[in-house]
Amino acid sequence: MSDDLFKDYTPDVVEYDPQIDGSDEHKIRDAHLNTKNDLLEKIRRAKAAAKGNKTTFRQNIRTENEN
């Protein structure tokens, strides 16, 4: 069925036009992703500094069945 439907189909060649297609969108996206990564790294460093690299140790939870 689909063989008959697309038998005479010839694809059109599409030309890239920067004015229509927008040539700088990928640059804007990359800039946003770079800014996001920079901010995430800054937040990670600030959290580590605020924590003061302290390690908290928890003792095992004791149950009534332990000897």
4-29 per-position pLDDT tens digit: 888 888 888 888 777 777 777 777 88
Give the pLDDT score at 66. 63
What was the pLDDT predicted at 17?
77
Instruction: Say what the pLDDT of residue 34 is.
Output: 92
- H/E element holding 26? helix 25-51
Q: How far apart are CA 58 and CA 60, in angstroms?
A: 6
Secondary structure class of 29 (helix, strand, coil): helix
Residue keyed to tokens 């901010």: 39
d(CA 39, CA 47): 12
* pLDDT score of 35: 94
